[in-house]
Amino acid sequence: MTPARTIVVLGGDLAPAGRAAAEARAVAVIATEPYPTPEVVVATLGEHRPAAIVVRLVADQLGEPVMRAGGALGLIVKHGVGTDDIDIEAARRLGIPVAITAGVNATSVAEHAFAGILAFAKDLVGQDRLVRSGVWDKARYHGREVSGQTLGVVGFGAIGRKLAGYAQAFGMRVLAHDPLASAPMHGVDMADLDTLLAASDYVSLHCPLTPATLNLIDRRRIGLMRSHAVLINTARGGVVDEAALIDALRAGRLAGAVADCFAAEPPAADNPLLEMPNTLVSPHIAGVTIDAKAAVSVCAATLAADWLDGRKPDPYYLVR
Protein backbone atom coordinates (compact mmCIF):
# COMPACT_ATOMS: atom_id res chain seq x y z
CA MET A 1 0.00 0.00 0.00
CA THR A 2 1.40 3.41 -0.91
CA PRO A 3 2.14 6.07 1.73
CA ALA A 4 -0.73 8.13 0.26
CA ARG A 5 -3.16 5.51 1.62
CA THR A 6 -1.62 5.35 5.10
CA ILE A 7 -2.62 7.10 8.30
CA VAL A 8 -0.56 7.17 11.48
CA VAL A 9 -2.28 7.02 14.87
CA LEU A 10 -0.21 8.64 17.61
CA GLY A 11 -0.71 7.19 21.07
CA GLY A 12 -2.29 3.76 20.75
CA ASP A 13 -4.33 2.00 18.10
CA LEU A 14 -7.83 2.75 16.92
CA ALA A 15 -10.64 0.65 18.34
CA PRO A 16 -11.31 -2.44 16.18
CA ALA A 17 -14.35 -0.75 14.63
CA GLY A 18 -12.22 2.23 13.63
CA ARG A 19 -9.46 0.10 12.15
CA ALA A 20 -12.09 -1.87 10.21
CA ALA A 21 -13.59 1.38 8.91
CA ALA A 22 -10.16 2.47 7.66
CA GLU A 23 -9.34 -0.87 6.09
CA ALA A 24 -12.71 -0.93 4.35
CA ARG A 25 -11.57 2.25 2.60
CA ALA A 26 -8.23 0.65 1.63
CA VAL A 27 -6.37 2.74 4.21
CA ALA A 28 -3.49 1.22 6.17
CA VAL A 29 -3.24 2.14 9.86
CA ILE A 30 0.13 2.51 11.59
CA ALA A 31 -0.13 3.03 15.37
CA THR A 32 2.52 4.02 17.90
CA GLU A 33 2.53 3.09 21.56
CA PRO A 34 0.68 5.42 23.95
CA TYR A 35 2.47 8.67 24.82
CA PRO A 36 5.21 8.57 22.18
CA THR A 37 7.99 11.12 22.64
CA PRO A 38 8.50 13.82 20.01
CA GLU A 39 11.51 11.85 18.76
CA VAL A 40 9.39 8.76 18.18
CA VAL A 41 6.68 10.81 16.50
CA VAL A 42 9.17 12.49 14.15
CA ALA A 43 10.75 9.15 13.27
CA THR A 44 7.38 7.50 12.63
CA LEU A 45 6.09 10.31 10.44
CA GLY A 46 9.38 10.45 8.58
CA GLU A 47 9.23 6.73 7.87
CA HIS A 48 5.60 6.52 6.73
CA ARG A 49 5.01 10.06 5.35
CA PRO A 50 1.26 10.02 6.02
CA ALA A 51 -1.09 12.56 4.49
CA ALA A 52 -3.29 12.35 7.60
CA ILE A 53 -2.64 11.51 11.25
CA VAL A 54 -4.90 10.75 14.19
CA VAL A 55 -3.80 12.09 17.58
CA ARG A 56 -4.75 10.06 20.64
CA LEU A 57 -2.26 10.17 23.55
CA VAL A 58 1.06 12.01 23.13
CA ALA A 59 3.75 12.92 25.62
CA ASP A 60 4.18 16.51 24.40
CA GLN A 61 2.19 18.99 22.38
CA LEU A 62 2.58 18.48 18.64
CA GLY A 63 4.41 21.52 17.30
CA GLU A 64 5.62 22.74 13.94
CA PRO A 65 8.77 20.55 13.76
CA VAL A 66 6.64 17.44 14.23
CA MET A 67 4.08 18.59 11.68
CA ARG A 68 6.85 19.12 9.13
CA ALA A 69 8.50 15.77 9.85
CA GLY A 70 6.72 13.65 7.28
CA GLY A 71 6.76 16.23 4.55
CA ALA A 72 3.30 15.24 3.32
CA LEU A 73 0.97 15.93 6.24
CA GLY A 74 -2.30 17.50 5.14
CA LEU A 75 -4.76 16.79 7.97
CA ILE A 76 -4.59 16.29 11.74
CA VAL A 77 -7.53 14.50 13.35
CA LYS A 78 -7.96 14.57 17.12
CA HIS A 79 -9.33 11.31 18.54
CA GLY A 80 -11.71 13.21 20.81
CA VAL A 81 -12.35 16.93 21.16
CA GLY A 82 -9.60 18.39 23.37
CA THR A 83 -6.83 19.91 21.26
CA ASP A 84 -4.48 21.18 23.97
CA ASP A 85 -1.95 18.57 22.77
CA ILE A 86 -1.87 20.14 19.28
CA ASP A 87 -0.32 23.53 18.48
CA ILE A 88 -3.29 24.91 16.58
CA GLU A 89 -1.49 28.11 15.57
CA ALA A 90 1.41 26.11 14.13
CA ALA A 91 -1.05 24.03 12.13
CA ARG A 92 -2.67 27.21 10.81
CA ARG A 93 0.70 28.62 9.76
CA LEU A 94 1.41 25.44 7.83
CA GLY A 95 -2.05 25.37 6.29
CA ILE A 96 -2.90 22.05 7.95
CA PRO A 97 -6.54 21.79 9.04
CA VAL A 98 -7.27 20.22 12.43
CA ALA A 99 -10.45 18.19 12.83
CA ILE A 100 -12.04 16.83 15.99
CA THR A 101 -14.58 14.06 16.48
CA ALA A 102 -17.09 16.62 17.67
CA GLY A 103 -20.09 15.39 19.62
CA VAL A 104 -19.28 11.70 19.22
CA ASN A 105 -18.42 11.00 22.87
CA ALA A 106 -20.81 13.59 24.29
CA THR A 107 -23.21 11.00 25.71
CA SER A 108 -20.47 9.14 27.59
CA VAL A 109 -18.98 12.30 29.11
CA ALA A 110 -22.36 13.76 30.06
CA GLU A 111 -23.45 10.48 31.64
CA HIS A 112 -20.21 10.37 33.67
CA ALA A 113 -20.74 13.91 34.91
CA PHE A 114 -24.33 13.21 35.90
CA ALA A 115 -23.29 9.97 37.59
CA GLY A 116 -20.97 12.06 39.73
CA ILE A 117 -23.83 14.37 40.65
CA LEU A 118 -26.00 11.45 41.74
CA ALA A 119 -23.13 9.76 43.57
CA PHE A 120 -22.63 12.85 45.73
CA ALA A 121 -26.33 13.57 46.20
CA LYS A 122 -26.94 10.03 47.46
CA ASP A 123 -23.52 9.61 49.16
CA LEU A 124 -23.13 6.31 47.33
CA VAL A 125 -19.39 5.94 47.87
CA GLY A 126 -19.53 6.93 51.53
CA GLN A 127 -22.39 4.57 52.32
CA ASP A 128 -20.68 1.73 50.47
CA ARG A 129 -17.54 2.22 52.59
CA LEU A 130 -19.52 2.33 55.83
CA VAL A 131 -21.44 -0.87 55.15
CA ARG A 132 -18.29 -2.69 54.07
CA SER A 133 -16.63 -1.62 57.32
CA GLY A 134 -19.49 -3.07 59.36
CA VAL A 135 -21.40 0.15 60.02
CA TRP A 136 -25.17 -0.01 59.47
CA ASP A 137 -26.48 3.37 60.61
CA LYS A 138 -29.33 5.02 58.75
CA ALA A 139 -29.22 7.99 61.11
CA ARG A 140 -25.87 9.01 59.61
CA TYR A 141 -27.30 9.24 56.10
CA HIS A 142 -27.94 12.74 54.78
CA GLY A 143 -28.63 12.17 51.09
CA ARG A 144 -30.47 14.73 49.01
CA GLU A 145 -32.75 14.75 45.98
CA VAL A 146 -31.34 16.51 42.93
CA SER A 147 -34.81 17.62 41.86
CA GLY A 148 -35.10 21.32 42.59
CA GLN A 149 -31.33 21.78 42.81
CA THR A 150 -29.41 24.05 40.44
CA LEU A 151 -26.80 22.77 38.01
CA GLY A 152 -24.32 25.19 36.49
CA VAL A 153 -22.84 24.07 33.17
CA VAL A 154 -19.63 25.82 32.10
CA GLY A 155 -19.15 25.23 28.38
CA PHE A 156 -22.37 24.70 26.46
CA GLY A 157 -21.40 22.61 23.47
CA ALA A 158 -22.52 19.07 22.67
CA ILE A 159 -21.56 17.67 26.08
CA GLY A 160 -22.93 20.56 28.10
CA ARG A 161 -26.24 20.45 26.26
CA LYS A 162 -26.53 16.70 26.71
CA LEU A 163 -25.90 17.07 30.45
CA ALA A 164 -28.44 19.87 30.68
CA GLY A 165 -31.05 17.55 29.18
CA TYR A 166 -30.32 14.86 31.76
CA ALA A 167 -30.53 17.40 34.58
CA GLN A 168 -33.83 18.78 33.34
CA ALA A 169 -35.25 15.25 33.18
CA PHE A 170 -34.44 14.95 36.90
CA GLY A 171 -36.17 18.23 37.69
CA MET A 172 -33.07 20.36 38.10
CA ARG A 173 -32.80 24.02 37.20
CA VAL A 174 -29.96 24.59 34.73
CA LEU A 175 -27.74 27.63 34.32
CA ALA A 176 -25.15 27.73 31.54
CA HIS A 177 -22.16 29.87 30.69
CA ASP A 178 -20.46 29.91 27.31
CA PRO A 179 -19.32 33.06 25.51
CA LEU A 180 -19.39 31.13 22.22
CA ALA A 181 -22.76 29.41 22.62
CA SER A 182 -24.55 29.63 19.30
CA ALA A 183 -28.13 28.98 20.34
CA PRO A 184 -30.20 28.88 23.53
CA MET A 185 -31.78 25.70 24.88
CA HIS A 186 -35.33 25.57 26.17
CA GLY A 187 -35.45 25.92 29.94
CA VAL A 188 -31.76 26.79 30.33
CA ASP A 189 -30.82 30.24 31.62
CA MET A 190 -27.56 31.69 30.30
CA ALA A 191 -25.51 33.51 32.91
CA ASP A 192 -22.13 35.11 33.41
CA LEU A 193 -19.63 32.80 35.09
CA ASP A 194 -19.53 34.47 38.49
CA THR A 195 -23.32 34.49 38.77
CA LEU A 196 -23.49 30.83 37.77
CA LEU A 197 -20.90 29.80 40.36
CA ALA A 198 -22.65 31.67 43.15
CA ALA A 199 -26.09 30.26 42.32
CA SER A 200 -25.33 26.59 41.63
CA ASP A 201 -25.45 23.52 43.85
CA TYR A 202 -23.44 21.55 41.29
CA VAL A 203 -21.02 23.01 38.75
CA SER A 204 -19.90 20.88 35.80
CA LEU A 205 -17.04 21.94 33.53
CA HIS A 206 -17.17 21.22 29.80
CA CYS A 207 -14.87 23.80 28.23
CA PRO A 208 -11.62 23.21 26.32
CA LEU A 209 -8.23 24.02 27.82
CA THR A 210 -6.91 27.13 26.10
CA PRO A 211 -4.82 30.08 27.31
CA ALA A 212 -8.12 31.80 28.09
CA THR A 213 -9.45 28.93 30.23
CA LEU A 214 -6.24 27.99 32.06
CA ASN A 215 -7.14 28.18 35.78
CA LEU A 216 -10.54 29.57 34.79
CA ILE A 217 -11.90 28.24 38.08
CA ASP A 218 -9.34 29.96 40.28
CA ARG A 219 -9.21 30.74 43.98
CA ARG A 220 -11.46 33.78 43.67
CA ARG A 221 -14.09 31.93 41.69
CA ILE A 222 -14.01 28.89 43.96
CA GLY A 223 -14.66 31.36 46.76
CA LEU A 224 -17.89 32.39 45.05
CA MET A 225 -19.30 28.87 45.19
CA ARG A 226 -21.71 27.67 47.85
CA SER A 227 -20.15 25.72 50.71
CA HIS A 228 -22.43 22.76 49.97
CA ALA A 229 -21.63 22.81 46.24
CA VAL A 230 -19.86 20.08 44.27
CA LEU A 231 -17.48 20.79 41.39
CA ILE A 232 -17.40 18.25 38.54
CA ASN A 233 -14.49 18.34 36.08
CA THR A 234 -14.59 16.03 33.08
CA ALA A 235 -12.94 18.63 30.83
CA ARG A 236 -9.23 19.26 31.47
CA GLY A 237 -7.33 19.47 34.74
CA GLY A 238 -5.79 22.81 33.84
CA VAL A 239 -9.18 24.53 33.79
CA VAL A 240 -9.15 24.40 37.61
CA ASP A 241 -6.57 25.85 40.00
CA GLU A 242 -5.91 22.51 41.68
CA ALA A 243 -4.16 23.96 44.75
CA ALA A 244 -7.08 26.31 45.37
CA LEU A 245 -9.53 23.43 44.97
CA ILE A 246 -7.63 21.32 47.50
CA ASP A 247 -7.57 24.20 50.00
CA ALA A 248 -11.32 24.77 49.64
CA LEU A 249 -12.13 21.08 50.11
CA ARG A 250 -9.91 20.85 53.18
CA ALA A 251 -11.42 23.95 54.75
CA GLY A 252 -15.01 22.90 54.10
CA ARG A 253 -15.61 25.85 51.78
CA LEU A 254 -16.63 23.35 49.11
CA ALA A 255 -18.51 20.12 49.78
CA GLY A 256 -16.93 17.91 47.16
CA ALA A 257 -15.32 17.42 43.79
CA VAL A 258 -15.57 14.90 40.97
CA ALA A 259 -12.19 14.82 39.22
CA ASP A 260 -11.87 12.83 36.02
CA CYS A 261 -8.84 14.90 35.03
CA PHE A 262 -5.91 16.49 36.83
CA ALA A 263 -3.36 19.25 36.31
CA ALA A 264 -0.72 16.54 35.79
CA GLU A 265 -1.70 13.11 34.50
CA PRO A 266 -1.34 10.66 36.00
CA PRO A 267 -1.46 12.60 39.28
CA ALA A 268 1.35 12.17 41.79
CA ALA A 269 0.74 9.44 44.35
CA ASP A 270 0.69 12.07 47.12
CA ASN A 271 -1.86 14.32 45.39
CA PRO A 272 -4.32 15.21 48.19
CA LEU A 273 -7.30 14.77 45.86
CA LEU A 274 -6.62 11.03 45.89
CA GLU A 275 -6.91 10.80 49.68
CA MET A 276 -9.79 13.11 50.50
CA PRO A 277 -13.11 11.55 51.54
CA ASN A 278 -15.04 14.26 49.69
CA THR A 279 -13.61 13.58 46.23
CA LEU A 280 -14.57 11.07 43.56
CA VAL A 281 -11.70 10.45 41.14
CA SER A 282 -11.18 8.55 37.89
CA PRO A 283 -8.35 8.30 35.31
CA HIS A 284 -9.69 10.64 32.59
CA ILE A 285 -12.08 8.02 31.26
CA ALA A 286 -15.39 9.89 31.05
CA GLY A 287 -15.26 9.86 27.27
CA VAL A 288 -13.75 6.43 26.67
CA THR A 289 -16.55 3.98 27.32
CA ILE A 290 -16.60 0.96 25.02
CA ASP A 291 -19.33 2.65 23.01
CA ALA A 292 -17.56 5.99 22.74
CA LYS A 293 -14.17 4.49 21.86
CA ALA A 294 -15.69 2.63 18.93
CA ALA A 295 -17.69 5.62 17.70
CA VAL A 296 -14.79 8.08 18.05
CA SER A 297 -12.40 5.73 16.26
CA VAL A 298 -14.84 5.24 13.38
CA CYS A 299 -15.34 9.00 13.10
CA ALA A 300 -11.58 9.68 13.16
CA ALA A 301 -10.88 6.98 10.58
CA THR A 302 -13.66 8.28 8.35
CA LEU A 303 -12.40 11.87 8.51
CA ALA A 304 -8.88 10.71 7.61
CA ALA A 305 -10.06 8.41 4.81
CA ASP A 306 -12.26 11.15 3.36
CA TRP A 307 -9.23 13.43 3.26
CA LEU A 308 -7.20 10.81 1.42
CA ASP A 309 -10.06 10.56 -1.07
CA GLY A 310 -9.94 14.30 -1.67
CA ARG A 311 -12.88 15.32 0.51
CA LYS A 312 -12.45 18.09 3.06
CA PRO A 313 -13.98 17.63 6.54
CA ASP A 314 -17.38 19.10 7.18
CA PRO A 315 -16.90 22.49 8.93
CA TYR A 316 -18.70 21.02 11.97
CA TYR A 317 -15.58 18.96 12.71
CA LEU A 318 -12.97 21.64 12.03
CA VAL A 319 -11.21 23.64 14.74
CA ARG A 320 -11.73 27.30 13.93
Does 146 share its domain with 260?
A: yes
Does 146 share its domain with 257?
A: yes
Please state, in angstroms and rounded to a whole number, the distance separating the CA atoms of residues 150 and 267. 30
User: How many domains in the chain?
Assistant: 2
Active site annotation includes 265: yes
Does 8 share its domain with 65?
A: yes
Active site annotation includes 236: yes
Residue 156 belongs to a domain with what CATH number? 3.40.50.720
Does 95 share its domain with 21?
A: yes
pTM metric for this prediction:
0.91
- Of the listed 5, 25, 48, 284, which one is catalytic? 284
Does 257 share its domain with 213?
A: yes
Does 244 share its domain with 182?
A: yes
- Of the listed 39, 47, 145, 265, which one is catalytic? 265
pLDDT given for residue 2 in this prediction:
46
For the chain (320 residues), the mean pLDDT of every run of 10, in chain order, is: 78 97 97 95 96 94 93 95 94 97 97 99 96 95 97 97 98 96 86 98 97 97 99 98 99 98 96 97 97 98 97 94
pLDDT given for residue 4 in this prediction:
63
pLDDT given for residue 163 in this prediction:
98
pLDDT given for residue 320 in this prediction:
82
- Of the listed 161, 177, 221, 236, which one is catalytic? 236
Active site annotation includes 226: no
pLDDT given for residue 3 in this prediction:
54
Does 240 share its domain with 182?
A: yes
Does 247 share its domain with 312?
A: no
Does 213 share its domain with 305?
A: no
Does 136 share its domain with 248?
A: yes
Does 61 share its domain with 110?
A: no
pLDDT given for residue 1 in this prediction:
42
Does 152 share its domain with 240?
A: yes
Range of the domain at 64: 3-104+290-317
**SS3 per residue for the chain:** CCHHHEEEEECCCCCHHHHHHHHHCCCEEEECCCCCCHHHHHHHHHHHCCCEEEECCCCCCECHHHHHHCCCCCEEEECCCCCCCECHHHHHHCCCCEEECCCCCHHHHHHHHHHHHHHHHCCHHHHHHHHHCCCCCHHHCCCCCCCCCEEEEECCCHHHHHHHHHHHHCCCEEEEECCCCCCCCCCEEECCHHHHHHHCCEEEECCCCCCCCCCCECHHHHHHCCCCCEEEECCCHHHECHHHHHHHHHHCCCCEEEECCCCCCCCCCCCHHHCCCCEEECCCCCCCCHHHHHHHHHHHHHHHHHHHCCCCCCHHHECC
